[in-house]
Structure 1
Amino acid sequence: MEARIAIAPSAEAGASHGRLGSSDLDLDRRRPGIEEAVSRGGGVNVPLADADGLVWLIPGEPELLGATLEAHPRIGWVQFPWAGVERFAASGVFDRPVVFSCAKGSFAGQVAEHALMLALACLRSLSLQARTPGWCPVDPRSLHGRRVTILGGGGIAAELVRLLRPFGCRVRVIRRRPEKVEGADETLPPPALPAVLPETDVLVLALALTPETRHVVGAAELALLPPQAVVVNVARGAHIDTGALVEALDAGTISAAGLDVTDPEPLPDGHPLWADPRVLVTSHCADSAEYVARMFCERVERNVRNLLAGRPLEGVIDPAAGY
């Protein structure tokens, strides 16, 4: 058995397409690494017409992917380089009899580090300190012993739970699946969120964006948080109702926010979140270009091996869940 893998766009068409997720490496530099990953996994790099597997690098064009699969019915597996695939899910392309896998979990290490950094920065008022052009003593708040609630139970949450261990935090994870997240004090279903929020000092969003999770944190949820709470988002901007967040900060409903993602994104010049000294925005840069490229190539290599061995693939997308 062979694993014949194509990469789209082709080398000839690659120049017309943009960035791969948060990576600014151009396609010409990425392609050799992906081709090597396919070969290391035991696969064969082939043109699209000969492929039974496809690495899809074209962002934001689900209709083009659908047309490609229609024209090449031998393709039974598609690998995406991103963790978030909400545009493809909304298009209905996942309804095809094809196995789709994405990069969910691949970038958890750096993203969890970023979430921890944002939480510490919020608790210690680093944004205010950095913006004040003078001596500005502010009492810090410690992360030790804080009550942390993580929305999402995937790779980022699992890694963040591990990073929080030395701080002695009480960690609750809210996730759709019932399996317990190792190291968390509690793993709870989504309906438990309203009961947990009043007992939350740090709320971290690390979940997939679906129609059900859009604005999962809005005015009602923010109102349930205690006034000392901080909100950290390293997932998707649309998880938070931005207008409600601005109002909650203005009213003192919460104390601070650390945002690697925003809605809209990029956050427009002049938006009130830019001027708020309690808010730290890091412009969707939780993971580096080199790290993304390296982790993705490792995922491709392992999945090609898994395909050849008949083992389950990593990062398989659940069409019903949309991620």
Structure 2
Amino acid sequence: MRIAYWLGTQLARELIVEGLRSVDGAEVVVIEGLADLLEALPELDGLVLRNVPEAEAGQVCDVLRRPGRRLRWMHFVSAGREGFDAAGIPEDILVTGPDGALAPTVAEHAMALLLAIGRQLPACVEAGRSREWKRTMPAGVRSIEGQSLLVVGYGNIGREIAKRAAAFGARITVVTRSPRPDDLVSDVRPLGELRAALAEADSVVIAIALTETTKHLIGSAELAACKPGAHLVNVARGGIVDQRALVEALRSGHIGAAGLDVVDPEPLPSDDPLWECPNVLITGHFAGAGSAFSAKRLARSVVENAAKFVAGAGYVG
């Protein structure tokens, strides 16, 4: 079967390609550009890829909807695939994903952002550049120990965040679409109780998937419901937060600080007002990078699913 690896990030790229080539019965091709993929699609049986914006995903899905299509399997190495969900993947194509391969690393990044804004590290960096020794800075420092932490979304990433926050001594509440008891957390609530949960939280970490129902889940009303001075961290997708409302909340001081690995749009334009907001730490959507263990898990998920697909066993999970 002919399987293509397209537009993968550098994360685990060599491991994935090497692993795919080890699968009996798989003919593997590496495709870089969108035009090359669109040309090759009619001759492909499987495709390993990451999420792309809806406009690009739409071009891929348009080809996949044509009569005579061979492709029957798509595996995403990205945690989300909202661009393709919006474009509409044909229902008869088997879709698999990384199944939490990157979750520990993303959770680590979430904690790094939470610690950095809580311990005022961005301000420390600025003070260091001007060679200032600021003894007034501790007045605004916040500890995670004893803090009320709300995790919005409790899939693989949300649970890994809870594990790490629990080790710091936080009291953890979870808001999720599928509430179920969990020994790691103090309280699990349905998504309909989001505003009430926000009102009780010292810090909020967003780890929920972006869908039609979660777009701008954190809007002006939800930000207003937060405790004055609350901290916000987002390692999910930028579209979950209404960015205009966040800018206003940061400027007013109602949201005390934000750590954002994801924004909307990406990359964030140089003239976007978010850059000028006080107490914001922005990283360039690389929360899943930096772990050899995550890279191996990611590659293993591709190879295992490819082997099942080629063998005709399908995939359950």
TM-score, normalised with respect to structure 1: 0.81
- Tell me what 1:34 maps to: 16
Q: 1:66 to 1:37 in 2, by over 3 A?
A: farther
- Tell me what 1:54 maps to: 47
Q: Which runs of 5+ in 2 are unaligned?
A: 30-40
SS of alignment partner, residue 198 of structure 1? helix
Deviation at 1:40, TM superposition (A): 4.6
Partner Cα distance (2:273, 2:189) in 1? 34
Q: Does residue 118 of structure 2 align to residue 117 of structure 1?
A: no
Residue of 92, 95, 118 corresponding to 1:100: 95
Partner Cα distance (2:93, 2:183) in 1? 31
- Tell me if the contact between 1:153 and 1:173 (Cα under 8 Å) persists in the aligned partners: yes
Deviation at 1:213, TM superposition (A): 0.8
Partner Cα distance (1:293, 1:72) in 2? 35
Q: 70-79 vs 83-92, which deviates more?
A: 70-79
The aligned length equals: 295
Amino acid of the residue matched to residue 298 of structure 1?
R
- Tell me what 2:82 maps to: 86
Q: 280-289 vs 269-278, which deviates more?
A: 269-278
Q: Does residue 212 of structure 2 align to residue 215 of structure 1?
A: no
Partner Cα distance (1:35, 1:56) in 2? 12
Deviation at 1:46, TM superposition (A): 5.5
- Tell me if the contact between 1:173 and 1:181 (Cα under 8 Å) persists in the aligned partners: no
SS of alignment partner, residue 61 of structure 1? helix
Partner Cα distance (1:219, 1:293) in 2? 37
Deviation at 1:34, TM superposition (A): 2.8
Partner Cα distance (2:165, 2:290) in 1? 25
Name the structure, 1 or 2, with higher relative contact order (CA <8 Å, separation 6+).
1
Amino acid of the residue matched to residue 103 of structure 2?
A
Deviation at 1:238, TM superposition (A): 1.3
Deviation at 1:111, TM superposition (A): 0.9
- Tell me what 2:34 maps to: none
- Tell me if the contact between 1:42 and 1:304 (Cα under 8 Å) persists in the aligned partners: no
- Tell me if the contact between 1:43 and 1:304 (Cα under 8 Å) persists in the aligned partners: no
Partner Cα distance (1:214, 1:176) in 2? 14
Q: 296-305 vs 41-50, which deviates more?
A: 41-50
Q: Which runs of 5+ in 1 are unaligned?
A: 10-18, 315-323
Partner Cα distance (2:295, 2:199) in 1? 40
Partner Cα distance (1:61, 1:280) in 2? 30
**Percentage of matched positions with identical amino acids:** 36
Deviation at 1:7, TM superposition (A): 0.8
Partner Cα distance (1:121, 1:211) in 2? 31
Q: 1:96 to 1:311 in 2, by over 3 A?
A: closer
Deviation at 1:72, TM superposition (A): 5.2
For residues 179-190 of structure 1, what are the structure 2 equivalents within 5 Å? 179-181=180-182, 183-190=184-191
Amino acid of the residue matched to residue 7 of structure 1?
A
- Tell me if the contact between 1:5 and 1:55 (Cα under 8 Å) persists in the aligned partners: no
SS of alignment partner, residue 188 of structure 1? strand
- Tell me if the contact between 2:250 and 2:278 (Cα under 8 Å) persists in the aligned partners: no
Amino acid of the residue matched to residue 37 of structure 1?
G
Deviation at 1:69, TM superposition (A): 6.0
- Tell me what 1:128 maps to: 123
CA distances 1:10-36 after superposition (whole Å, capped 9, x unpaired): xxxxxxxxx53xx347xxx93x53343
Deviation at 1:37, TM superposition (A): 1.8
TM-score, normalised with respect to structure 2: 0.82
For residues 215-294 of structure 1, what are the structure 2 equivalents within 5 Å? 215-288=216-289, 294=296
- Tell me what 1:319 maps to: none
Partner Cα distance (1:62, 1:145) in 2? 47
Deviation at 1:66, TM superposition (A): 4.2
Residue of 3, 6, 9 corresponding to 2:3: 6
- Tell me what 1:321 maps to: none
